[in-house]
């Protein structure tokens, strides 16, 4: 099997199931009306999917290490498809909430197995470039999901959006069944595999593991801080409407995807640790620029926003690359822990921001965020120093 084909199928599989996070967000008001429920319960359908997906990362990681990749991927996709069909035909909010949890459980297997299999199949510079390409493909979902959902929903409602999600998942599942081999390394089976708590212990004791987990939490907190609070900043300071705000958000996403794609070449040239350290340092610079640019003009704000998206994209693929190289026997467990932590970063962004922004506006919100990144950069610098000492 061609390795590039495997990468494409894995990336597309993860992107398609990730659509469930954002595809029907524009249709939440319609869903609230049709199911005759409250806004809080409708929003809970989004939260429960994400929580289920995050928790299952940690649960499934050791299972994937022990039993293999395909044995978890295909059943996970089947559960996702069936649950999505259940969402499509839900006639009450209670029924929808149940199927959204099941949908998150099924979806959890896909990005976990995808990142693990990429680590299995590729090595060295190829692994860095492949992780960057995977990150770029995966990043397309949050960028286009609301747009696709809005277009389909305007014609067929939220049931049509779920129907599209189910049909596209069935299609990519067929490709996965016939085109993806089992990639579990031969030396990761039997007594060689560290079970359960031993695997988690090694990940948290490892300096690389700690740096990646800290950086993953912080960088995804940064990115989702902008996703959540950029509309508020643009509306309150410049009076922009929803359409123009959407263009600014699209610019953030587009430059993040561009940075993700170039991250592979950067890692191949200078190494993943140096790439993470350098890109993280640039994130701090971009955040400081954004604080001043946001007060001066809309054009400068846009430039700073694009810079932040780009340098964040440079940093993000380096983290799973480092985990794949460091943990062979516990690769899926490490990926599961990493995914769980970065999901926590996403969830923390609105909660932390809801305290900081009312207290001090853009300057306090982005300033404290820059401090968080500084902590991650210091940790990465220490890892880089230890790596350099080992080579002397």
Whether the pLDDT of residue 300 is over 80: the answer is yes
Tokens of 27: 């249709």
Q: Are 369 and 221 in contact (CB under 8 A)?
A: yes
Locate the DSSP E strands across the chain.
Answer: none
Q: What is the DSSP letter of 184?
A: -
Last residue of a domain, one of 133, 157, 181: 181
What CATH number should be reported for the domain holding residue 85? 1.20.1250.20
3-state class (DSSP) for residue 2: coil
Average confidence (pLDDT) over 36-40: 82
> Domain range spanning residue 272?
197-391
pLDDT at 388 (0 to 100) = 55
Q: For the chain, what's the residue count?
A: 392
Residue ranges in 271-330 assigned as alpha helix (H): 272-296, 298-315, 318-326
With cut-offs at 50, 70 and 90, classify the pLDDT of residue 149: confident
pLDDT at 383 (0 to 100) = 82
With cut-offs at 50, 70 and 90, classify the pLDDT of residue 366: very high
3-state class (DSSP) for residue 297: coil
Task: Specify whether 135 is located in the same domain as 229.
Answer: no
Give, rounded to a whole angstrom, the gap between the first and last alpha carbons of the chain.
40
Torsional sign, CA 250, 251, 252, 254: positive
What separation in angstroms does the CA of 128 have from each of 48, 184, 287, 361, 381? 32, 19, 26, 38, 20
Within-domain flag for 188 = no
Task: Specify whether 240 is located in the same domain as 164.
Answer: no
* Overall pTM > 0.75: yes
Tokens of 240: 């922009």
Task: Specify whether 353 is located in the same domain as 244.
Answer: yes
What separation in angstroms does the CA of 349 have from each of 180, 221, 225? 36, 5, 5
Report pLDDT digits (tens) over 67-111: 899 999 999 999 999 999 999 999 899 999 999 999 999 999 999
Tokens of 317: 């693929």
The percentage of the chain sitting over the pLDDT mark of 90, rounded to a whole number, equals 54
Task: Specify whether 281 is located in the same domain as 343.
Answer: yes
Task: Specify whether 92 is located in the same domain as 222.
Answer: no
Domains: count for the chain: 2
């Amino acid at each position: 099997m061609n390795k590039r084909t495997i990468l494409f199928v894995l990336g597309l599989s993860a992107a398609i199931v990730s659509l469930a996070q954002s595809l029907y967000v524009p249709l939440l008001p319609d869903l609230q009306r049709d199911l005759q429920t409250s806004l809080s319960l409708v929003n809970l359908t989004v939260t429960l999917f994400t929580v289920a997906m995050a928790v299952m990362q940690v649960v499934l990681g050791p299972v994937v290490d022990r039993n293999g990749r395909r044995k978890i991927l295909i059943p996970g996709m089947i559960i996702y498809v069936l649950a999505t069909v259940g969402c499509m035909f839900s006639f009450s909010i209670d029924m929808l909430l149940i199927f959204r949890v099941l949908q998150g459980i099924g979806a959890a297997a896909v990005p976990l197995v995808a990142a693990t299999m990429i680590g299995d199949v590729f090595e060295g510079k190829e692994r860095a470039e492949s992780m960057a390409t995977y990150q770029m493909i995966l990043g397309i979902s949050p960028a286009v999901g609301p747009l696709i959902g809005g277009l389909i929903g305007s014609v067929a409602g939220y049931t049509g959006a779920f129907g599209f999600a189910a049909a596209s998942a069935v299609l990519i599942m067929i490709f996965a069944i016939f085109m993806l081999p089992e990639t579990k390394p031969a030396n990761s089976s039997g007594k060689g595999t560290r079970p359960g708590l031993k695997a988690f212990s090694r990940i948290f004791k490892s300096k690389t593991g700690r740096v990646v987990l800290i950086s993953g939490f912080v960088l995804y907190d940064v990115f989702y801080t902008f996703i959540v609070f950029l509309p508020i900043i643009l509306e309150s300071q410049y009076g922009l409407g929803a359409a123009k705000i959407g263009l600014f958000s699209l610019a953030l996403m587009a430059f993040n995807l561009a940075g993700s794609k170039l991250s592979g070449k950067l890692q191949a040239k200078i190494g993943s640790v140096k790439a993470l350290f350098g890109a993280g340092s640039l994130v701090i610079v971009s955040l400081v620029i954004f604080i001043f640019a946001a007060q001066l003009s809309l054009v400068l704000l846009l430039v700073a926003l694009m810079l932040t998206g780009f340098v964040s994209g440079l940093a993000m693929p380096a983290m799973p690359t480092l985990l794949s190289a460091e943990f062979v026997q516990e690769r899926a467990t490490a990926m599961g822990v990493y995914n769980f932590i970065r999901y926590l970063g996403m969830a923390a962004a609105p909660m932390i921001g809801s305290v900081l922004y009312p207290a001090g506006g853009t300057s306090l919100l982005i300033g404290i965020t820059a401090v968080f990144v500084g902590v991650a950069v210091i940790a990465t610098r220490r890892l880089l120093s230890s790596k350099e000492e080992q080579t002397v």
